[in-house]
């Protein structure tokens, strides 16, 4: 019965928890070609672009009537021109929508989308939102029927927009053959309720596009919190639950692969879809089943958000560059890797106890381009993978005497350059409630 591609791993159960830890296996290895991309990230170009965008006074989604000197129209044209100057296929991604919610008049909402084709058409997104909003000048609240307030939006989210442009510039200039197609997007309508991202994501579902990951960057360039606490050495990555959601696998991947490329700059994983009570464009993708995360600075200054005070002075370009390097390293690694293994079957993930009834037996479909696989596991109470085994081009692994009840398992595909896919987790959704019928009711 033993299939040709099976590996039986002879590890004593008693040694499993102490041995085989990630450090004993060695962490992810640096690819000098990816390192060169990371080194090419520069704060200088981002500063030039952000100065140009903030000079337009506002980029409010409904501000088309302020063209050509101000507002959303010259902003999107500027971003479009830069993408094209990098040599990318770029276009406006426009939708006509009726008034709804915070969109108080019929409007045309246009994202700016640039594409770097890979060997396959599975997509990896890098994004920020280029639109802005500000409260009324008199210190009052938002007036969604007014869009001529000064709203420079340098940090919210000019920072994420120019970060996206810089990742696009660096990757477009490289001669690396990416397996995945890279898509760089400056979204519109975020401030009105993730409008541009939702329109794009719902059309992606209609068009059956495969989106493997969304790296969304929003409020990512400020180091000094409104409470005076300063942190230029960490950033936050927010991911939506449950514990083994696609979003969480992407978050774990980012922390794992940022570390060797941007040492001294710590990725803090936040097990929450966004900041408390707030949201971002990644949420639109998560809602539709895609893997999205949000990158944000660790210390926010709320008094500078959604006000005329959100100016260039509040952006630290060296910090923004380090956050751009984190994006560059992790996006490039994921795009160079094969796709994640398919572990599904009509009866759930392919994990069982084997012939003994007490082993962990995992199987998966071979992945084109993979030279090996990394099988990972952790205590079922744990947060991140703690153990790993690397195997060659097989499609099955037996872990003797390892309880499939007590541990969560996963597998990723590894390409010839050591680049790893996201982890496919062997988990089952909760069972739906099944009522028991009673007599006489």
Residue numbers of the site for Zn ion (CB under 5 A)? 156-157, 218
11-28: string of b/e by CB count within 10 Å (b at 16+)? eeeeebeeebeeeeeeeb
- Please identify, using beta-carbon distances, which residue of 156 and 388 lies nearer to Zn ion: 156
Closest to 332 in 3D by CA, of 50, 95, 34, 133? 34
The one-character DSSP state at 211 is: E
Contact 143, 136 (CB under 8 A): yes
**Partner residues linked to 440 by β-bridges:** none
CB of 129 to Zn ion, least distance (A): 6
Over 231-243, what HEC string results? CCCEEEEEECCCC
Of all residues in the chain, what percent are helix, strand and coil, respectively (each to 5)? 30, 25, 50
Nearer to Zn ion, 181 or 305 (CB): 305
Nearer to Zn ion, 153 or 338 (CB): 153
Question: Distance between CA atoms of 425 and 430, rounded to whole angstroms?
Answer: 15
Contact (CB, 8 A) for 335 and 118: yes
Distance in Å, CB of 126 to Zn ion, minimum: 16
Residue sitting closest to Zn ion (CB):
157
Q: Which is nearer to Zn ion, 153 or 425 (CB)?
A: 153
CA dist 71 and 63 (Å) reads 5
CB of 117 to Zn ion, least distance (A): 29
Decide: 281 and 216 in contact? Cβ < 8 Å.
yes
Query: 86 or 295: whose CB is closer to Zn ion?
Result: 295
Taking the complex as a whole, the smallest distance from the CB of residue 41 to Zn ion amounts, in Å, to 22
CA–CA distance, 189 with 64 (Å, rounded to integer): 13
Considering beta carbons, is residue 130 or 364 the nearer one to Zn ion?
A: 130
**Min. distance of Cβ 209 from Zn ion in angstroms?**
24
Output the smallest distance, CB 190 to Zn ion, in A: 6
DSSP 224: B
Q: State in angstroms the smallest separation of the CB of 329 from Zn ion.
A: 24
C-beta closer to Zn ion: residue 193 or 354: 193
């Amino acid at each position: 019965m033993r299939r040709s591609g099976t590996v039986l791993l002879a590890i004593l159960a008693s040694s499993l928890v102490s041995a085989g830890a990630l450090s004993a296996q060695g962490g992810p290895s640096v690819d000098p070609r990816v390192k060169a991309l990371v080194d090419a990230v520069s704060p200088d170009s981002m500063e030039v672009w952000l100065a140009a965008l903030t000079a337009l006074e506002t980029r409010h989604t409904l501000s088309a009537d302020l063209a050509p000197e101000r507002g959303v129209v010259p902003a999107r044209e500027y971003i479009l021109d830069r993408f094209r100057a990098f040599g990318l296929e770029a276009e406006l991604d426009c939708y006509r929508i009726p008034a709804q919610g915070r969109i108080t008049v019929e409007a045309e909402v246009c994202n700016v989308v640039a594409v770097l084709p890979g060997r396959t058409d599975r997509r990896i997104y890098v994004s920020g939102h280029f639109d802005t909003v500000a409260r009324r000048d008199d210190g009052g609240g938002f007036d969604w029927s007014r869009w001529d307030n000064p709203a420079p939006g340098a940090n919210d989210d000019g920072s994420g927009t120019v970060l996206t442009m810089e990742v696009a510039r660096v990757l477009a200039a490289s001669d690396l053959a990416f397996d995945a197609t890279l898509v760089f997007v400056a979204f519109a309508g975020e401030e009105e309720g993730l409008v541009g991202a939702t329109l794009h994501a719902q059309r992606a579902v209609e068009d059956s596009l495969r989106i493997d990951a969304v790296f969304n960057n929003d409020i990512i360039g400020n180091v000094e919190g409104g409470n005076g606490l300063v942190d230029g050495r960490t950033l936050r990555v927010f991911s939506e639950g449950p514990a083994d959601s696609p979003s969480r696998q992407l978050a774990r991947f980012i922390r794992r692969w940022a570390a060797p490329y941007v040492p001294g700059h710590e990725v803090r994983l936040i097990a929450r879809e966004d900041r408390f009570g707030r949201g971002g464009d990644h949420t639109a993708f998560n809602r539709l089943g895609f893997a999205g995360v949000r990158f944000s600075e660790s210390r926010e200054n709320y008094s500078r958000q959604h006000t005329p005070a959100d100016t260039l002075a509040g952006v630290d370009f060296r910090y923004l560059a380090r956050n751009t390097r984190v994006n560059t390293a992790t996006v490039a690694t994921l795009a160079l890797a094969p796709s994640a293994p398919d572990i599904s079957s009509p009866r759930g993930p392919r994990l069982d106890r084997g012939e003994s009834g007490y082993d962990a037996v995992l199987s998966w479909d071979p992945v084109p381009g993979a030279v090996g696989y990394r099988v990972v596991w952790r205590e079922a109470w744990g947060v991140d993978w703690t153990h790993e085994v690397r195997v060659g081009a097989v499609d099955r692994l037996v872990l003797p005497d390892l309880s499939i009840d007590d541990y969560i398992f996963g597998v990723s595909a590894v390409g010839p350059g050591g680049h790893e896919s996201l982890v496919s987790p062997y988990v089952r959704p909760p069972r739906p409630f099944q009522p028991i019928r009673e007599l006489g009711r």
